[in-house]
Structure 1
Amino acid sequence: MKLKFAGAIFAANFALASIAVAQGTAPADVAVINTCLKTAEKNGGFGGACVGLVADPCIKAAEGKNGDVDNWKACAARELAIWTQKTNEALKQANGGGPDVTKPVTDSQKSFAVSRDRFCAVFDRVEPGMYRGGASYCRLRETANRALSLIKLGAAVNEH
């Protein structure tokens, strides 16, 4: 069962990972997110305030430079790489929940990337200043929220 689950996770996350792997993750960026998540966990929070901690300052610094939109997208992709990594780690933790957890998580994960990408594509068709980073920033936010939920699920099923 674990091998089948791991294969399904790999296939479902290929699109997610291919975007993020190209970007890589800078250790300092990962540390910013990890520190925030540890604080949120300690305080019983969800971690939503941790989303954008890498991309937002990067986007602000890129304002007024040539290629604003491309720079904004690169900033979003930089943080997306971190949340993609967090999603993959959390999926492995959720594996500890047995078939009652594993099957629904695996099934929903198969369609997550496709759904996210269809939805987020809309943001590349609106005025770039309205949602800096367009579809790239949307993918970052959607992936981060998914990761945060999976982190909580993984913690819950591995609690005992």
Structure 2
Amino acid sequence: MKLKLAAALLAAGLPLASMAFAQGTGPADAAVIDTCLKTAEETGGFGGACVGLVADPCIKAAEGTNDDVAKWRACAARELAIWTQKTNEALKKVEAGGFADVIKAVKDSQKTFAASRDRFCVVFDKIEPGMYKGDASYCRLRETANRSLSLIKLGAAVNEH
């Protein structure tokens, strides 16, 4: 798990030194999001309310500390690791559906997703810290989570029968 977190921190453009604050990523964090997603599924919701459930309390706890911006970024990376895993799981479920045209469309779009997300999110590193706590890292979290939520829905749809 630490290796996955380190990879997420690096992908989010964070130094590994931030890992100390983000180290809490684990089964309990994933369970918070899983519970929320299960509730959303049961009620027919999209799951958008599940985004930020790990990062936001972490960011709030880091406010007013030394180097709080770096800690905010680490908090975002902590949840980004969870959504990245959820995305990978959803991609496998889409593939399991067996629809060649759907699989091709998803694979083609995934090839450009991370680059597009990163080009967009970097602008948040240029605005006043605190306007979007966690800067580009939080943007990557939100963009990845939204992508994951769509892929989860698609995976469920192509595996209904």
The within-5 A match list for 1:113-152 is 113-152=114-153
1:19 counterpart = 2:20: no
Q: C-alpha separation between the residues in 1 aligned to 2:60 and 2:108?
A: 38
Q: Which has the higher helix share?
A: 1
Supply the RMSD in Å over aligned alpha carbons. 1.6
Q: Please report the TM-score for the alignment, with normalisation by the length of structure 1.
A: 0.86
Q: CA deviation at 1:91?
A: 0.3
Whichever residue aligns with residue 19 of structure 1, its letter is A
Q: Which residue of 1 aligns with 2:78?
A: 78
Q: C-alpha separation between the residues in 1 aligned to 2:80 and 2:98?
A: 26
Aligned length: 144
Whichever residue aligns with residue 66 of structure 1, its letter is N
Q: Which runs of 4+ in 1 moved over 3 A?
A: 20-25
The gaps in structure 1 that reach 5 residues or longer are: 1-16
Q: Which residue of 2 aligns with 1:112?
A: 113
CA contact (8 A) 2:9 2:74 kept: no
Q: Which residue of 1 aligns with 2:88?
A: 88
Q: CA deviation at 1:18?
A: 3.1
Q: Which residue of 2 aligns with 1:4?
A: none
Q: C-alpha separation between the residues in 2 aligned to 1:73 and 1:56?
A: 11
- Identity score, percent: 77
The gaps in structure 2 that reach 5 residues or longer are: 1-5, 11-15
Q: CA deviation at 1:148?
A: 0.1
Q: SS of 2:130's equivalent?
A: helix
Q: Which residue of 2 aligns with 1:31?
A: 31
CA contact (8 A) 2:54 2:79 kept: yes
Q: Please report the TM-score for the alignment, with normalisation by the length of structure 2.
A: 0.85
Q: C-alpha separation between the residues in 1 aligned to 2:61 and 2:130?
A: 14
CA contact (8 A) 1:93 1:155 kept: yes
Q: CA deviation at 1:97?
A: 3.8
Cα–Cα, structure 1 residues 108 and 29, in superposed 2: closer, same or farther, change >3 Å? Answer: same
CA contact (8 A) 1:97 1:154 kept: no
Q: C-alpha separation between the residues in 2 aligned to 1:38 and 1:150?
A: 15
Whichever residue aligns with residue 55 of structure 2, its letter is A
